[in-house]
Chains A and B, each alone.
Chain A
Amino acid sequence: MTECSVTGSFPKNSLLSADRDVPDDPESAEAFAYYSDGAALVTGKGSYIGDIKLPRMLDASFVRSPIARGVIKRINAEAAAASVGVVRIGTGPQLVQAVPKALPHASMVLHASEHAPEQFNLPAYHLLPIDSVHYEGEAVAVVVADNRYRAEDAAELVDVEYEELRPVLDPETSLSPDCEQLFEDVVGNLALEGRFGSTEDAGSLFEEAALVLRRRYRMNRSGNPPLETVGVIAQYENRRLTVWSTIQRPQILRIALADILGLPESRVRVIAPQNIGGGFGWKSPMYRETAVIAWLATQLDRPVRWIEDRTEALKKGVHARDQIWEMVAAFDSDARILGLKSEVIADVGSVLVDMYGLLPSRLSATVPFPYDIPWIRTHLRCAITNKAPMGVNRPAGRMPAVWAIERLMDDAARELGVSPAQIRRINFVKEFPYNSPLGGTLTDSNYVATMDKLLSVFRYEERQQEAERLRTAGRKVGVGLAACVELCRPLCSFGGALFYNQPQYASVSLRMYPDGSVSIMSGDAPQGQMRHTTMAKVTAEELGADLEFIEVYTGDTLLSPITNSNTDVTSVCAIAARRLRSKVIAAASHLMGVDANESNFVCARGVVTHLPDGRKMSFREVAWTTIMRPFLLPDGSTPDLAETAYFEAAYAPTSFGAHAAMVEVDPDVGRIRILSYGFVGDCGKQLNPRGLHAAVTAGITTGISNTTHEAYIYDAQGQLITSNLKDYAMLTATEMPQEIIINHNDTPTAATIYGHKRMASEGVPAGVPPAIANAIIDAFSGSVDLTVVPFFPGDLWATTRDASQTPVAKR
């Protein structure tokens, strides 16, 4: 295998320039799935939040606003309080007595905004609103009863009187000078304004260009809510608060809850269950309901549980996408892009649950495109509206930006008379590292080769010819391309200030027991990335331990060192395991009475072998002696067979994905069929090929779902009309492409232990909408235009009908 040099910020020592093999045998990778990633999940023994039962546990249900904007005049909870089984009712005016601090000023957000270069104006809010509501579905009161049925019954009896106000639902209206201000503390409804890109003037660049293209692209609200909703259980005993939560960032939640409730952090423990039913970023914010449930537990002397239902999940948010991109692009006659000006308006909804409410928009505006654009400026404005708050949903943030640039590239290609493949090849970044004027740096990749591999495995040219032949025969078949960069954020704190209180390092503790078995304790909370398996496998390989004797504990803040969400657990386990291996070898060499030179030892399957004489000693013998009989070791030895390691990559690796779609449209009804979908990615190095394949397929699925199925649609009164899974339609097996081709063109990064980047799968959905839209436009030979996504059969039917009535192609 290829071993990369390591330039991470951890201490350099001889072990890190590893000369041993790392787990790269796909066959052995196939064979193993850790218990809680494998056997448990196929036998109904997974351990999710809804499966936890505590004695005397109560259930909570939230009363939610039926209107998008209004003043709370009165809350009458008398009937609810008298309802069977009700133990407690909480309202905003009551809670504010106990928790007077306003959020986000009580949580970590303020610190971030103090240190960020741009102005963050997050509206302050309380755990439950005191006097006004800002979106339909906002929690206004909470009812606690002895079971969920009774809690929900009583919640319906809470009578809230509102004075209804006209909601502001359009982000451009919200930012217009004559619009009412929706929050007292957010002037002009502007939650964030940022100017990114080239500092020097554009000069005459746009005047002298061969083509200046002005386009407006829009990506409306959709997202990637997982199948398991949010859940919380809180227990307060002996002045200690324990909170089980579906949170992706248990350590960060612990810090926030301690801050909000005024408890020392040492008394707050957060546990993310061993199994979380999908996260996709949607489970990273600290929803205000979580803090309400934690507060209730401190008051009630009984554990309190809240498992939200699907309609709550859809109405409460967080939602994603929802941006408008007005672009002016300059190209020379060789189809080279010279300059790009983008005015971006992001609708971030209301009551932003934490800093992650603004992160997606900022990422969208600043993650570099894969193209070398010499002069680029992006002006971002985030508008508050009376909709559910915005948040991170796979792929975090940049999906609308990718939609805009990839549609723009195709539109420019058509104007300039070059092919979609050509215009991309001409403009791709070719020299790495590439410092984008937007701030990010693109590293360790080869976009041209990756796209070329896609064109080859997808048989792009053949398919183009076939599509043309079918079009001649009257069918509407087309082929489209797209490309996107994935910034591997969780490996590195890029953009320092924004992550001021969001450390991006990975951490892990390993502990070897007297019998030689090892527990891995990670503060990461895997949500279905097979990360338990990865941690067990990497640790076993690097340590030379037997997989059967490794147990993985995740998501418990008491067991694990501080970390964030979805970090590079692979690298950090490798580092910790290598250090622990050194300790085992040091003890074994003493017990064998031989020189401690590590190169003389091999550790495999829980046995240390001294190569020069073939002597063997089991981990059990070494560990038992070290921990139980340390007097047999040299003076000054401690019974220490534990390791805690931290890892932060020296820079944020970037990965890349090239997309291709072949699509047929039935113009009579506007239905599309994806005949084939192709993806070639660069993930640095594949560590778990089978898991990666499923995750990439899922990314394509999410992308398609966000193109033609999933959408949060509000009516004119601000009511979410897609509030169940029939209306908020997630793609099912029957709507999948008829063929999916997945391949890889990996360039390892020097920033991680094995050269792996972020599992490239996270960014996959971003490239899908433009690939499909570009294919549809090709199916109509450029006579239709698609600038708004998601689009549904009705939209497509109307668009294509209009096109068929226009003799000349639009634009």
Chain B
Amino acid sequence: MVNDNQSQLVIVNFRVNGIDRQVSVEPRYALADVLRDELLLTGLHLGCEQGVCGTCMVLINGEPAVSCLTLAVEADGSDIQTIEHLSGGTSMPGKLEQSFIKHGAFQCGFCTPGFLVMGHHLLDKGLAKDRDTVRDNLSGNVCRCTGYEAIIDAIVAVAVGEDLK
């Protein structure tokens, strides 16, 4: 079998969830595929691979990005955070995660990592105090199971310091 130019690999260095990682990838590889298949970070999902649904969202240098339309090579040198890190993990889910459970902000859970990544970003930037601002900022995430209202509630609840117990 011919070893053609498709298999030319490029070394990419980035920091993922606080750990420096090096991967060798084809230039065409999407960041989402590298995170899921190489680094086994399967929390982000692929709903459309067209940059519309937002379920593959990660933070790149603190800004939300759709990892399906980001090439891994573009992310060279950047600091990436995925839901596995942002959430605190199953043993110690953070406030936003607890709020999602309390408010019933998900059903099948497929879109949830994307909404959580965006939620963390909005909370960090102080953009989660009112429902309208949160709503506007969620226009890049699609959910089929909840009708969004509970998601908005869950994010705002953390911003306003609602008791999550």
B107 to A44, Cβ gap below 8 A? no
A724 to B50, Cβ gap below 8 A? yes
A42 to B148, Cβ gap below 8 A? no
- Given A733-B141, A733-B152, A227:B104 Cβ within 8 A: no
B90 to A227, Cβ gap below 8 A? no
CB contacts (< 8 Å) of A275 on chain B: these are 108-110
A43 to B145, Cβ gap below 8 A? no
| Docked CA distance A730–B144 (Å) | 8
A41 to B109, Cβ gap below 8 A? yes
B149 to A734, Cβ gap below 8 A? no
B106 to A732, Cβ gap below 8 A? no
A149 to B29, Cβ gap below 8 A? yes
A153 to B106, Cβ gap below 8 A? no
Residue of B nearest to A689 (CB): B104
Q: Is B21 an interface residue (CB 8 A)?
A: no
Q: Is A189 an interface residue (CB 8 A)?
A: no
B28 to A698, Cβ gap below 8 A? no
Q: Is B159 an interface residue (CB 8 A)?
A: no
Q: Interface residue tally of chain B, by bracket?
A: 35 or more
Q: Is B77 an interface residue (CB 8 A)?
A: no
Q: Is A691 an interface residue (CB 8 A)?
A: yes
**B-contact bits for A690-728, CB 8 A (1 contact / 0 none):** 110111111111100000000000000000000011100
Q: Is A437 an interface residue (CB 8 A)?
A: no
Q: Is A592 an interface residue (CB 8 A)?
A: no
A44 to B44, Cβ gap below 8 A? yes
Q: Is A194 an interface residue (CB 8 A)?
A: no
| Docked CA distance A616–B82 (Å) | 48
- CB A551 to nearest CB in B, in angstroms, measures 15
- CB A435 to nearest CB in B, in angstroms, measures 35
Q: Is A555 an interface residue (CB 8 A)?
A: no
CB contacts (< 8 Å) of A700 on chain B: these are 147
CB contacts (< 8 Å) of A691 on chain B: these are 104, 107
| Docked CA distance A39–B93 (Å) | 7
Residue of B nearest to A528 (CB): B108
Q: Is B143 an interface residue (CB 8 A)?
A: yes
- CB A745 to nearest CB in B, in angstroms, measures 20
B47 to A310, Cβ gap below 8 A? yes
Please report which residues of chain B, range 1-36, place their CB below 8 angstroms from some CB of chain A when the two chains form the complex.
Answer: 1-4, 6-7, 26, 28-29, 36
A697 to B147, Cβ gap below 8 A? yes
Of B28, B48, B102, the contact of A725 (CB 8 Å cutoff): B48
Residue of B nearest to A40 (CB): B90
Q: Is B112 an interface residue (CB 8 A)?
A: yes
B6, B111, B136, B146, most chain A CB atoms within 10 A: B146
| Docked CA distance A85–B49 (Å) | 23
Please report which residues of chain B, range 107-159, place their CB below 8 angstroms from some CB of chain A when the two chains form the complex.
Answer: 107-113, 116, 135-136, 138-152
Of B100, B135, B139, B144, the contact of A278 (CB 8 Å cutoff): B144
- Given A48-B110, A149-B26, A695:B50 Cβ within 8 A: no
- CB A688 to nearest CB in B, in angstroms, measures 9
Q: Is B52 an interface residue (CB 8 A)?
A: yes
B104 to A528, Cβ gap below 8 A? no
- CB A387 to nearest CB in B, in angstroms, measures 22
CB contacts (< 8 Å) of A48 on chain B: these are 42, 45, 110
B1, B46, B109, B146, most chain A CB atoms within 10 A: B109
Residue of A nearest to B3 (CB): A84
**A-contact bits for B40-63, CB 8 A (1 contact / 0 none):** 011111111110110100000000
CB contacts (< 8 Å) of A45 on chain B: these are 43, 84, 90
Residue of A nearest to B135 (CB): A733
A42 to B7, Cβ gap below 8 A? no
| Docked CA distance A119–B112 (Å) | 45
- Given A43-B90, A227-B111, A724:B52 Cβ within 8 A: yes
A694 to B104, Cβ gap below 8 A? yes
| Docked CA distance A736–B146 (Å) | 12
Q: Is A224 an interface residue (CB 8 A)?
A: yes
Q: Is A265 an interface residue (CB 8 A)?
A: no
| Docked CA distance A150–B4 (Å) | 12
Q: Is A613 an interface residue (CB 8 A)?
A: no
| Docked CA distance A528–B110 (Å) | 9
Of B6, B100, B135, B145, the contact of A84 (CB 8 Å cutoff): B6
Residue of A nearest to B54 (CB): A732
A84 to B2, Cβ gap below 8 A? yes
Q: Is B101 an interface residue (CB 8 A)?
A: yes
- Given A44-B82, A48-B45, A150-B6, A695:B106 Cβ within 8 A: no
CB contacts (< 8 Å) of A30 on chain B: these are 102
Q: Is B67 an interface residue (CB 8 A)?
A: no
| Docked CA distance A385–B162 (Å) | 55
Q: Is A228 an interface residue (CB 8 A)?
A: yes
- CB B80 to nearest CB in A, in angstroms, measures 14
- CB A730 to nearest CB in B, in angstroms, measures 5
Please report which residues of chain A, range 656-703, place their CB below 8 angstroms from some CB of chain B when the two chains form the complex.
Answer: 690-691, 693-702
CB contacts (< 8 Å) of B151 on chain A: these are 733
CB contacts (< 8 Å) of B36 on chain A: these are 50-51
Of A84, A725, A740, the contact of B52 (CB 8 Å cutoff): A725
Of A43, A46, A696, the contact of B93 (CB 8 Å cutoff): A43
CB contacts (< 8 Å) of B3 on chain A: these are 84
Of B7, B47, B144, the contact of A698 (CB 8 Å cutoff): B144
Q: Is A527 an interface residue (CB 8 A)?
A: yes
Of B43, B47, B88, the contact of A228 (CB 8 Å cutoff): B47
Q: Is A530 an interface residue (CB 8 A)?
A: yes
A696, A699, A700, A732, most chain B CB atoms within 10 A: A732
CB contacts (< 8 Å) of B93 on chain A: these are 39, 42-43
- CB A29 to nearest CB in B, in angstroms, measures 10
A228 to B45, Cβ gap below 8 A? yes
- CB A768 to nearest CB in B, in angstroms, measures 11
B150 to A694, Cβ gap below 8 A? yes
- Given A43-B97, A694-B107, A701:B50 Cβ within 8 A: no
- Given A50-B36, A226-B144, A33:B101 Cβ within 8 A: yes
Of B89, B138, B142, the contact of A43 (CB 8 Å cutoff): B89
- CB B56 to nearest CB in A, in angstroms, measures 11
CB contacts (< 8 Å) of A356 on chain B: these are none
Q: Is B73 an interface residue (CB 8 A)?
A: no
Q: Is B83 an interface residue (CB 8 A)?
A: yes
| Docked CA distance A693–B116 (Å) | 20
A227 to B88, Cβ gap below 8 A? no
Q: Is A529 an interface residue (CB 8 A)?
A: yes
B145 to A694, Cβ gap below 8 A? yes
A725 to B150, Cβ gap below 8 A? no
B135 to A734, Cβ gap below 8 A? yes
B138 to A732, Cβ gap below 8 A? yes
- Given A150-B6, A725-B52, A733-B148, A44:B84 Cβ within 8 A: yes
B109 to A277, Cβ gap below 8 A? yes
CB contacts (< 8 Å) of B141 on chain A: these are 732-733
* 19 A–B pairs (Cβ distance < 8 Å), ordered by A: A38-B101, A42-B87, A42-B93, A42-B101, A44-B83, A50-B46, A82-B2, A149-B26, A226-B144, A277-B45, A277-B109, A277-B111, A697-B147, A698-B145, A698-B147, A701-B147, A724-B52, A730-B53, A730-B142
Q: Which residues of B contact A (CB under 8 A)?
A: 1-4, 6-7, 26, 28-29, 36, 41-50, 52-53, 55, 82-84, 87-90, 93, 97, 100-113, 116, 135-136, 138-152
Question: Lowest 9 A-B CB distances belong to which pairs?
Answer: A44-B43, A528-B108, A277-B110, A697-B147, A41-B109, A725-B52, A42-B97, A44-B83, A528-B107
Starting from the known contacts A153-B6, A690-B104, 20 additional A-B residue pairs (CB-CB under 8 Å) come to: A39-B101, A42-B97, A42-B116, A44-B84, A45-B90, A46-B112, A48-B45, A84-B1, A84-B2, A84-B3, A226-B144, A227-B108, A278-B108, A278-B145, A528-B109, A529-B107, A697-B146, A698-B146, A725-B53, A734-B139
